Structure 1
Amino acid sequence: MRAGPGWRWLPTEHRAAYLLDAARAYALAGDMRRAGRTVLDAERTARGEVHDRPEVRDLVAVVARAPTAPADLTRLAADLRVS
Protein backbone atom coordinates (compact mmCIF):
# COMPACT_ATOMS: atom_id res chain seq x y z
CA MET A 1 0.00 0.00 0.00
CA ARG A 2 1.09 3.54 -0.61
CA ALA A 3 0.47 6.34 1.80
CA GLY A 4 0.28 10.06 1.28
CA PRO A 5 2.43 12.69 2.98
CA GLY A 6 0.10 12.99 5.98
CA TRP A 7 0.49 9.30 6.86
CA ARG A 8 3.53 9.86 9.04
CA TRP A 9 1.65 12.35 11.20
CA LEU A 10 -0.89 9.75 12.31
CA PRO A 11 -0.20 7.96 15.60
CA THR A 12 1.23 4.50 15.01
CA GLU A 13 -1.86 2.83 16.49
CA HIS A 14 -4.07 4.63 13.96
CA ARG A 15 -1.80 3.61 11.10
CA ALA A 16 -1.92 -0.01 12.24
CA ALA A 17 -5.71 0.12 12.62
CA TYR A 18 -6.02 1.45 9.07
CA LEU A 19 -3.76 -1.29 7.75
CA LEU A 20 -5.76 -3.94 9.59
CA ASP A 21 -9.00 -2.59 8.12
CA ALA A 22 -7.40 -2.81 4.68
CA ALA A 23 -6.24 -6.37 5.42
CA ARG A 24 -9.81 -7.35 6.33
CA ALA A 25 -11.05 -5.86 3.07
CA TYR A 26 -8.44 -7.78 1.08
CA ALA A 27 -9.40 -10.99 2.88
CA LEU A 28 -13.09 -10.42 2.19
CA ALA A 29 -12.23 -9.89 -1.48
CA GLY A 30 -10.32 -13.18 -1.49
CA ASP A 31 -6.87 -11.64 -1.91
CA MET A 32 -5.18 -13.51 0.94
CA ARG A 33 -1.67 -12.76 -0.26
CA ARG A 34 -2.25 -9.02 -0.05
CA ALA A 35 -4.19 -9.41 3.21
CA GLY A 36 -1.23 -11.24 4.72
CA ARG A 37 1.27 -8.64 3.60
CA THR A 38 -0.89 -5.86 5.01
CA VAL A 39 -1.22 -7.62 8.39
CA LEU A 40 2.57 -7.92 8.48
CA ASP A 41 2.88 -4.20 7.67
CA ALA A 42 0.54 -3.48 10.58
CA GLU A 43 2.65 -5.65 12.89
CA ARG A 44 5.79 -3.76 11.90
CA THR A 45 3.94 -0.48 12.49
CA ALA A 46 2.44 -1.26 15.91
CA ARG A 47 3.11 -4.77 17.17
CA GLY A 48 0.70 -4.51 20.09
CA GLU A 49 -2.23 -3.73 17.81
CA VAL A 50 -1.75 -7.10 16.14
CA HIS A 51 -0.76 -9.21 19.13
CA ASP A 52 -3.30 -7.91 21.64
CA ARG A 53 -6.53 -7.77 19.66
CA PRO A 54 -8.68 -10.92 19.44
CA GLU A 55 -10.28 -9.87 16.15
CA VAL A 56 -6.84 -9.57 14.56
CA ARG A 57 -5.93 -13.04 15.81
CA ASP A 58 -9.05 -14.33 14.02
CA LEU A 59 -8.01 -12.54 10.83
CA VAL A 60 -4.49 -13.97 11.04
CA ALA A 61 -5.91 -17.47 11.49
CA VAL A 62 -8.09 -17.15 8.39
CA VAL A 63 -5.40 -15.66 6.18
CA ALA A 64 -2.68 -18.06 7.38
CA ARG A 65 -4.74 -21.04 6.20
CA ALA A 66 -4.72 -19.77 2.62
CA PRO A 67 -2.18 -21.42 0.31
CA THR A 68 -1.08 -17.98 -0.93
CA ALA A 69 -0.38 -16.60 2.56
CA PRO A 70 3.12 -15.14 2.99
CA ALA A 71 5.52 -17.38 4.93
CA ASP A 72 6.04 -14.66 7.52
CA LEU A 73 2.31 -14.66 8.22
CA THR A 74 2.48 -18.37 8.97
CA ARG A 75 5.22 -17.55 11.50
CA LEU A 76 3.04 -14.82 12.99
CA ALA A 77 0.14 -17.27 13.30
CA ALA A 78 2.43 -19.67 15.18
CA ASP A 79 3.64 -16.84 17.45
CA LEU A 80 0.02 -15.93 18.21
CA ARG A 81 -0.85 -19.62 18.64
CA VAL A 82 -3.68 -19.49 16.13
CA SER A 83 -4.41 -21.93 13.34
Structure 2
Amino acid sequence: MTRVYALAGDMLRAGRTLLVAERTAHSEVHDRPAMRRLVAVVWRSTDAPPELTQLAATLRLT
Protein backbone atom coordinates (compact mmCIF):
# COMPACT_ATOMS: atom_id res chain seq x y z
CA MET A 1 0.00 0.00 0.00
CA THR A 2 2.87 2.35 0.72
CA ARG A 3 4.03 2.22 -2.88
CA VAL A 4 0.48 2.90 -4.15
CA TYR A 5 0.12 5.93 -1.90
CA ALA A 6 3.57 7.20 -2.90
CA LEU A 7 2.82 6.81 -6.60
CA ALA A 8 -0.45 8.68 -6.08
CA GLY A 9 1.46 11.48 -4.36
CA ASP A 10 -0.12 10.93 -0.94
CA MET A 11 3.08 10.96 1.09
CA LEU A 12 1.29 11.41 4.40
CA ARG A 13 -0.54 8.10 4.00
CA ALA A 14 2.55 6.48 2.51
CA GLY A 15 4.53 7.51 5.57
CA ARG A 16 1.87 6.28 7.94
CA THR A 17 1.75 2.88 6.27
CA LEU A 18 5.53 2.65 6.50
CA LEU A 19 5.36 3.31 10.22
CA VAL A 20 2.69 0.64 10.66
CA ALA A 21 4.75 -1.80 8.59
CA GLU A 22 7.81 -1.09 10.71
CA ARG A 23 5.88 -1.87 13.88
CA THR A 24 4.32 -5.07 12.55
CA ALA A 25 7.11 -6.43 10.33
CA HIS A 26 10.27 -4.78 11.64
CA SER A 27 12.76 -6.83 9.65
CA GLU A 28 10.87 -6.37 6.38
CA VAL A 29 11.36 -2.61 6.58
CA HIS A 30 14.88 -2.70 8.01
CA ASP A 31 16.37 -5.45 5.84
CA ARG A 32 14.77 -5.12 2.40
CA PRO A 33 16.56 -2.67 0.10
CA ALA A 34 13.34 -1.81 -1.74
CA MET A 35 11.65 -0.81 1.51
CA ARG A 36 14.66 1.23 2.59
CA ARG A 37 14.55 3.11 -0.73
CA LEU A 38 10.83 3.73 -0.25
CA VAL A 39 11.44 5.11 3.23
CA ALA A 40 14.05 7.46 1.76
CA VAL A 41 11.69 8.72 -0.94
CA VAL A 42 8.75 9.27 1.40
CA TRP A 43 10.90 10.76 4.18
CA ARG A 44 12.25 13.46 1.84
CA SER A 45 8.73 14.63 1.04
CA THR A 46 7.47 17.72 2.82
CA ASP A 47 4.15 15.93 3.43
CA ALA A 48 5.69 12.95 5.25
CA PRO A 49 4.65 12.41 8.87
CA PRO A 50 7.23 13.80 11.33
CA GLU A 51 7.65 10.38 12.99
CA LEU A 52 9.21 9.09 9.77
CA THR A 53 12.34 11.13 10.55
CA GLN A 54 13.18 8.76 13.41
CA LEU A 55 12.78 5.71 11.16
CA ALA A 56 14.99 7.30 8.49
CA ALA A 57 17.64 8.04 11.13
CA THR A 58 17.46 4.47 12.44
CA LEU A 59 17.99 3.20 8.92
CA ARG A 60 20.87 5.71 8.54
CA LEU A 61 19.21 7.44 5.59
CA THR A 62 19.71 10.94 7.02
Counterpart check, 1:75 vs 2:54:
yes
Matches within 5 A, 1:41-52: 41-52=20-31
RMSD, aligned CA: 0.8
Deviation at 1:42, TM superposition (A): 0.4
- Does residue 23 (structure 1) correspond to residue 2 (structure 2)? The answer is yes
Greater RCO structure (CA 8 Å; 6+ sep): 2
1:62 is aligned to: 41
TM-score, reference length from structure 1: 0.72
Number of corresponding residues = 62
TM-score (normalizing by structure 2): 0.95
**CA distance in 2 between partners of 1:82 and 1:53 (Å):** 14
Match of 2:14 in 1: 35
Shift >6 Å, 4+ stretches = none
Larger Rg: 1
- % identity of equivalent residues: 66
Query: Mind listing any 5+ residue stretches in structure 1 that lack a counterpart?
Result: 1-21
